[in-house]
Structure 1
Amino acid sequence: MEHNGLMNFAALSPDEATPFRIIFVCTGNICRSPMAEVMLRDLVTRSGLGRLITTSSAGTGDWHVGEQADTRAIAAMAKRGYDGSHHRARQFDAGWFDDLDLVVVLDRSQERILRNWAPTERDRNKVRLLLSFDRDQAALRDVPDPYYSDDALFDSVLGMIERANIALFAQLAPAIRQGVR
C-alpha cells in the first residue's frame, strides 16, 4: 500500500454508492481534526470529486462530544475561507474501521491508540499520520495540538494541515479520477 513514503491509491475505483472514506482523528475532535476535515472537504468539493470522496473527523477521547469546534479553530478556518461552524465533536468508534478507507491521525499518540483499537492488520494499515503525506513536513511527524496555546499557533497548525492535505489530495485525486466507473 505504500511506496517511497507515499500511499499507493492505484487500485481505487470508488463510485457514488461507495465513495473513498477518510476520517481525521485527533484527541478531542475540536481543533486539529475538524480543521483537517473541513479543509479537505473544501478541496474535494472544489475539484468536483465531492461525490467520490467523503471526509469526517473524530477524537480518541470523549471530553468534547457534541461540542462545536474550538472558537480559535473556527476563527483560523474563517480567516482562510473555510466554514467550520457546523462541526460537532464525536469520539472514534473502533466499529467504524470496516466503513473507512483511510484513518488519518494528527500525531503519534492517536496513531498508537487507533492501531491498538484496530481489530485487524488490514485496519491497522489504514491508520496514517497526516504529515506523512507531505515530504516537506513528514520528518516532523506530529501536528502540534494548539488547544493550550494562542491564536497564532492555531493559524500555524492550519497551515501545516493545509499543506499536508494538499499533498494527500495530490496523491489521491488521480487514482480516484482514473478509477471512476
Structure 2
Amino acid sequence: MPAVLFVCLGNICRSPLAEGVFRHLTRHHRAGEPLVIDSAGTGAWHQGEAPDPRSVAIAARHGIDISRQRARQVVGADFSRFDLILAMDGSNLSDLRRMAPSGATATLRLFLDTPPQDVPDPYYGGPSGFEAVFRLVEGGARRVAAELGVAV
C-alpha cells in the first residue's frame, strides 16, 4: 500500500487533521502491509508541538484523537519514503516542489485535486473555520482512500 504524507504550513492545523481523519477512516484496513500515514509542515515554526487545540477539539468532536501527534518539518527523505505527498494548498505544493531533492520518487499534488481546491488555513479564524476545514478534509480523505483502493 502506498505511504501517504499530508502537508500544510506549520503542521498544527490542517495536516494533523488530515492525518487523523485518514487514519480513522482506514483503521480497519487489513490487506497486506499496514498503511504508512504521517503529516508534516513546510516550515519548522511549530516543530515538536501538539496540534492546535482547536484542531484537537474538532477532531475529538468527531471521535478522532490527534492529541498525541507532534509537528515536524518535511525532510528530504520524505520524498522517497512516501509514495504520495498531499499539499493542503497551492503555496504548500510550490514549497514542496522547491524542497524536493533530485531523484525524488513521491508524487506531489494538492490534497483536494478534483476539482483543484485549497484547504483554507483556519489558524487566524474561529471555531467555524476549523469545522469547515474538517468537512473538507473528511471528504478529501474519503476520495484518497477510494483512489488507493482502501475500504473505509
Do both share a fold (TM > 0.5)? yes
Name the CA distance, whole Å, in 2 between partners of 1:61 and 1:47.
Answer: 31
CA–CA distance in 2 between the matches of 1:38 and 1:149?
21
1:144 equivalent in alignment to 2:125: no
2:83 to 97, 101, 108: 101
The TM-score with structure 1 as length reference comes to: 0.78
1:37-81 CA-partner distances (Å, limit 9, x unpaired): 011011111343594311100001111001100000000101111
- In structure 2, distance between residues paired with 1:92 and 1:57: 8
Give the distance between the partners of 1:152 and 1:127, measured in 2 at CA: 29
Q: How many residues align?
A: 151
TM value normalised by structure 2: 0.92
Matches within 5 A, 1:84-95: 84-95=66-77
Contact residue 21 and residue 54 of structure 1 kept, 8 A = yes
Q: Is the 8 A contact 2:6 2:40 kept in 1?
A: yes
2:131 paired with 1:155: yes
State the AA in 1 paired with 2:8.
Answer: C
Which structure 2 segments of 5+ residues have no match?
A: none
Coordinate RMSD, CA, aligned = 1.9
Structure 1, unaligned runs of 5 or more = 1-13, 15-19, 177-181
Structure 1 match to 2:92: 110
Relative to structure 1, the CA distance from residue 121 to residue 112 in structure 2 (aligned partners, 3 Å threshold; closer, same or farther) is: farther
Structure (1 or 2) with the larger CA radius of gyration: 1
| Structure 1 residue ranges, 4+ long, deviating more than 6 angstroms after superposition | none
8 A Cα contact 2:11 2:41, kept in partner:
yes
Percentage identity across aligned positions? 39
Task: State how far apart, in whole Å, the 2-side matches of 1:171 and 1:160 are.
Answer: 17
**Aligned ranges for residues 161-172 of structure 1 at < 5 Å?**
161-172=137-148
